[in-house]
Amino acid sequence: MTETIEANGARIPLVGLGTWELGGRTCARLVEQALRLGYRHVDTAQIYDNEREVGEGVRASGGRRADVFVTTKIWPSHFKPRDLERSAKESLARLRLPEVDLLLLHWPNPHVPLAETLGALAKVKREGLARHIGISNFNVRLIEEAVRLSPEPLVCNQVEAHPFLDQTKVIEACRRHGLAVVAYSPIARGQAVRDPVLIEIGKAHGKSAVQVCLRWLVQQGIAVIPRTAKIERLESNAAIFDFALSDDEMARIARLAHPRGRVVNFAFSGTPEWD
Ligand SMILES: NC(=O)c1ccc[n+]([C@@H]2O[C@H](COP(=O)([O-])OP(=O)(O)OC[C@H]3O[C@@H](n4cnc5c(N)ncnc54)[C@H](OP(=O)(O)O)[C@@H]3O)[C@@H](O)[C@H]2O)c1
């Protein structure tokens, strides 16, 4: 669980806890428990409306702040430079942290020039509010543009990634520029649980379909942030470092991708079509 990937100066733990749709006491308890169990990475966002509870969970865990990698994301309606700086400070106030480890642009916003937004993001980093900065939901064209325009190195692109979606092009573009790929919805919002191929491969390893699915991603050097609201699932979702998939198994899982595999179809208004 402490394994990390290095990307443009950042060390990102390969397994993190996703927190979308977690709120209130449940959220704080899940974060606390995950950290007690050895998770070292927590993913939140302004739009999840749970930064306060995520911060509470981090503090309640009693661990050292330096041992936890906290990511939050700026919502695209705050991409004008002054809004971005203000909203980043508001996020830190809700989290009750002096800095986050990673601050991401949550979705591209075609209505604000990317150079201005990236300039503000870099400024926030230089002011010490974020140790690292990055992007999320950027397609190949936008990755290239962001890398060219950003005054500070971008360390990751957080995108939907799981066996049912072919993200080869985006992953290749990230690798070309040294960006880590962080997979969101890594178990396809629960769909991996009942996939016959993942179940069958799991049986051969004494593992569940979910564990095989997550292993397939981390074995490619992709970080995963599975989300669960059930404390009893935290441990098994992270128990993916004690087995390895064969080349044949990796290829068989890759063949599960299909054109309608995407499970998160939201796009911030006006986002250009996917590649
Ligand atoms: N950057 C972005 O735009 C973006 C978009 C989407 C998500 N994200 C991030 O990525 C995180 C993960 O994605 P996600 O929440 O969409 O979906 P996910 O992690 O792929 O799947 C979550 C679903 O899987 C179920 N589940 C988890 N572990 C399980 C297990 N061991 N066995 C059976 N079912 C299990 C959960 O149910 P239970 O709760 O009942 O266990 C939940 O319904 C989010 O929470 C968020 O932090 C980012």
For residue 43, the ligand 1 atom closest to its alpha carbon is 47
pLDDT single digits (tens) 211-270: 999 999 999 999 999 999 999 999 999 999 999 999 999 999 999 999 999 999 876 665
Q: What's the 98 CA to ligand 1 centre distance in angstroms?
A: 27
Q: Ligand 1: list residues with CB < 6 Å.
A: 18-20, 43, 106, 136-137, 158, 184-190, 193, 210, 225-230, 233, 236-237, 264
Q: What is the largest CA-CA distance in the chain?
A: 54
pLDDT at position 275 is 38
The answer to whether residue 48 is catalytic is yes
Tell how far CA 59 is from the center of its chain. 21
pLDDT at position 265 is 86
pLDDT at position 235 is 97
Stretches in the chain below the pLDDT threshold 70? 267-275
The residue whose C-alpha atom lies closest to atom 27 belonging to ligand 1 is 228
Residue 148, class by beta-carbon neighbours within 10 Å (0-12 exposed, 13-18 middle, 19+ buried)?
exposed
C-alpha–C-alpha distance, residues 97 and 81, integer Å: 21
